[in-house]
A and B are shown apart, each in its own frame.
Chain A
Amino acid sequence: QSTLVLVEHTNEALLPVTLNAVTAARKVGGETVALVAGTQCAAAAKVVSKIDGISKVLVADHESFKGFMPEVMAPLVVAAHKQFSFTHITAGSGAFSKNILPRVAALLDVAPLSDVIEIKSPDTFVRTIYAGNAVCTIKSNDSVKIFIARGTAFEPAEVGSSEVPVNEAPDGDMSLGSLSKWIGQSLSKSERPELASAKRVISGGRGMKNGDNFKLLYDLADKIGDTAVGASRAAVDAGFVANDMQVGQTGKIVAPELYIAVGISGAIQHLAGMKDSKVIVAINKDPEAPIFQVADYGLVEDLFKAVPAMTEKL
């Protein structure tokens, strides 16, 4: 067995979901090779070379990989596969991998598997369907298995101190590079931890009434520390906060140690994004809200009283 892990990074730094993907790759068994493609990405490649369990790092450092465009990234992964004949190709779940790996799979005539939460054997995988309301076990018959590993389902691999060799990746077909161009990005800037990697998450729902009231959640998050703030789709659809804060089937999947749902009723699609959290707290004035059915601790109270009280008492 040998698995290629497509690394998600910012050129300077590694994004944490890759560490979860490395653990998934190691569950497959055999050798684990990392592919780092980017522009001036030596710093990211160096970190990757220190991840426990990686035996080799392939680097493709080129101006063409600016913005990680799938039109050039996918052929690069295909070229790496042609050279090393991996049995598996994977990456951590997110917009990056979902943009690129299905494209790789189609080029190789392979059926990819998204959001894998368990690896039963090298050809048998478990993934969720219907927003997590059903769990599906799948046996792949493809010669190379391509899967996207859900970060919250695999522990992050450790970054050690010893480095493995960093080699140049083979050249991929760049001919489609002229058809797409990365223009820019506007990322939400926040001093707070990332939703996907925070130890604790506080999310607000429609009950927050407006965007300004999210300050109550930020204040509590700051008081607790290492706490990210998220939102339900209802809160995003109502325009209270930006879509990148959305927790749920159509947003981000999180599984922190503590999840506090504030003014969230608990729609199926929201539960799909947070029900694997270790401890769930629900604060809602409606005692019938479905969120209480998954909460370890439920507090039936007006959030506008309960949340400031929590901030004050901590």
Chain B
Amino acid sequence: MAARVLVACKRVIDYAVKIRVKPDKTGVVTDGVKHSMNPFDEIAVEEAIRLKEKKICEEIIVVSCGPDKCQETLRTALAMGADRAVHVNVKQGDYEKLQPLAVAKLLAKVAEKESVKLVLVGKQAIDDDSNQTGQMTAALLNWPQGMFASEVTFSGDDSVEVVREVDGGLETVSLKMPAVLSADLRLNEPRYATLPNIMKAKKKPMVKLSPEELGVDIKPHFEVVSVEAPTGREAGSKVESVDELLSKLKEKGVL
């Protein structure tokens, strides 16, 4: 297909961090907390790099929507092997209310502007767990979608076969390009950026665009009323033996 691929990357609180809810219930504590690229998006970036290595695509553009800090995430993607980056600058105050629908609109505009033939995203971000952006981007572009992909095979110039993770197993679909794909866990194992590549990434081009320049209204469609810690589950008791366990379970009526 020898065309451009757009990959979306979100900066999120690192997956290994135990998050804390703010006492005023407006959100979770993000200041001074380690952030990294959403793990599913890393898989999407890796897949794009493999497509380039196989000469299936010729240029990888990475995009992230948010305040200046998301440039770190874009640099990580560039260090992995992406060619250039688009930073859609959304100020901190607006970013806190940036919702997947608005992100999908921004991605669709960037995809059109850059004439890409493929959009790759992670299947969900591990902060809001929405699992929506890829599907909505496809809808806005009027393109077919291959969500939760665990294997993608390109054939000819205009068609891609996608093996998808569904509830009962796997499903295979064939899509005409251009298309939007979302990466599931088993699509690949992302590489680490090497030091020379991290240095090289600093010189790769990054442009900054605003939602206004893209003609996208990012106003929120819903309000977050509160964010709270879930009601905790109390630890129960230890049992000493299999016999004691079985008798407790029988007492409870679950066996």
Contact = CB atoms under 8 A, between A and B. Distances in A.
Interface of A: 67, 69-71, 74, 94-96, 98-100, 102-107, 109-115, 124, 128-142, 176, 178-188, 194, 196, 200, 224, 233, 237, 242-244, 249-250, 252, 257-258, 268-269, 275, 278-281, 287, 292-301, 306, 309-310, 313-314
B15 to A, nearest CB: 8
B36 interface: no
Contact of A294 (B172, B179, B233, B245): B233
A309 B242 CA distance: 7
Contact of A185 (B13, B28, B140, B170): B170
A115 to B, nearest CB: 7
Interface string B212-235: 000000001111111111100101
B139 A74 contact: yes
Contacts of B233: 275, 280, 293-294
B209 interface: no
Contacts of B18: 133, 268
Task: Among A130, A184, A244, A279, find the residue whose CB has the most chain B CB atoms closer than 10 A.
Answer: A130
A295 B236 contact: yes
B243 interface: yes
A136 B227 CA distance: 4
Contacts, number: 243
List of 8 A-B pairs having minimum Cβ-Cβ separation, nearest first: A111-B221, A296-B236, A106-B136, A106-B139, A102-B135, A102-B132, A187-B169, A180-B144
B132 A114 contact: yes
B129 A114 contact: yes
B194 interface: no
A174 to B, nearest CB: 13
A115 B132 CA distance: 11
Nearest to B161: A183
15 contacts: A70-B135, A71-B144, A106-B140, A110-B101, A135-B229, A137-B227, A137-B228, A142-B221, A180-B174, A183-B172, A185-B169, A268-B18, A280-B233, A296-B236, A310-B245
Interface string B16-46: 0011010000001000000000000000000
Contacts of A309: 242
